[in-house]
Structure 1
Amino acid sequence: MNSKTRTALAAGVLAVALGLGATAQASSAGTPRSVSGKPADNITRIADFYGAYIDAVTDEDSGNLGEALRAHYLTAGFQKALNAWEEKNHADGVLRAQNVPLAWKVTDNGSTAKYTEAVITFTWSKSSTSKVVVDMTRDSRQIFRIGEKGIGGK
């Protein structure tokens, strides 16, 4: 892939991540897939972040797009906490792993007056998955926690 193509791809991924609000829906065999979402919906925003972030890490963009996505979607305080977690664990704090998942799924896990919670399911191989919980504030619409608390209910 040449640099012009890579730049266009990165710009497209960033455009989707920063406002078009898209989520993918699986389809049955032979049926065209569709993508939909709402920019005002926090679950869509979380899905947009994870989709764009995983694309950036997969494309090995030297951290430029990944860092821009973190700056846009994560609170400043959480970015600092995430950096500390990564130093301690020698892994990507957004993915909670040293590699990139083959697939991901975002599931609404409920909302309160102050935040929206989603469960992210990562598929690592045919028989291996893991989950993290992501919390996003309803006012700033930024992620302030990624962890394991709340999986399977509040």
Structure 2
Amino acid sequence: MNSNTTARKHVRRTALIAGLVAAVALPLGLTASAQATTGGTATGAAVQRTVSGTASDNVTRVADFYGAYIDAKSDPDHGGRLATELRKYYVQAGGLRELTAWENRNHADGVLRAQNVPGKWTVKDAGAAGHTKVNVTLTWGGGQTTKLVVGLDRNHKIIRIDGN
């Protein structure tokens, strides 16, 4: 494993831990903000990326969920339990029932709409009134994409995932 891969895994784990801390703190009425910064080089100059968001924003909530969920599903040792807990926290009970029904029909993960894990994801506001829908694009190894529409309730819980 090269140092870039090790650094990326460390950043993902740090962000996942920060997200889980926020998941515990927010229901208790505590406020939290998270920021992840990664370093790298491009033509000799340091490049920094910053990720930030707010818990009351649907795009941030969906991005947090998909980032943590994909990381959990990528961990063969501990990912299954964490992925289940993330689903319980971010997805409303009715949405969980729909996911289970979809998975039983399609024999694949209902959140990812696939049997494997994407390498990249993008989350954007769908421009819906009240910002209750968010677009998610999952990008797979060969550059293929899966486009999803995630519906949320007024409490920022996922109620529906539509797509492939």
Give the TM-score normalised by structure 2. Answer: 0.73
Unaligned runs of 5+ in 2: 1-12, 27-31
Q: Which residue of the partner structure matches residue 144 of structure 1?
A: 159
- Secondary structure of 1:125's counterpart equals coil
Unaligned runs of 5+ in 1: 1-7, 150-154
Q: Which residue of the partner structure matches residue 73 of structure 1?
A: 90
Q: Does 1:45 align with 2:61?
A: yes
Q: Which residue of the partner structure matches residue 118 of structure 2?
A: 101
Q: 1:14, 1:65 within 8 Å by CA — same for their partners in 2?
A: no
Matches within 5 A, 1:8-87: 11-15=17-21, 20=32, 29=42, 30=45, 31-60=47-76, 61-87=78-104
Q: Which residue of the partner structure matches residue 6 of structure 2?
A: none
- Structure with bigger helix share is 2
Root mean square deviation, CA, Å = 2.9
* Separation of aligned partners in 1, 2:142 and 2:36: 20
Q: CA deviation at 1:23?
A: 7.9
Evaluate the alpha carbon distance shift between residue 36 and residue 13 of structure 1 in structure 2; reply closer, same or farther with a 3 A threshold. closer
Q: CA deviation at 1:38?
A: 1.2
Matches within 5 A, 1:110-129: 110-113=127-130, 116-129=132-145
Deviates more, 1:33-42 or 1:19-28: 19-28
Q: 1:106, 1:121 within 8 Å by CA — same for their partners in 2?
A: yes
Q: CA deviation at 1:129?
A: 1.2
* Separation of aligned partners in 2, 1:39 and 1:53: 17
* Separation of aligned partners in 2, 1:47 and 1:33: 16
Q: Which residue of the partner structure matches residue 149 of structure 2?
A: 133
Amino acid of the residue matched to residue 15 of structure 1? V
Q: How many residues align?
A: 140
Runs of 4+ in 1 over 6 A off after TM superposition: 23-28
Amino acid of the residue matched to residue 103 of structure 1? K
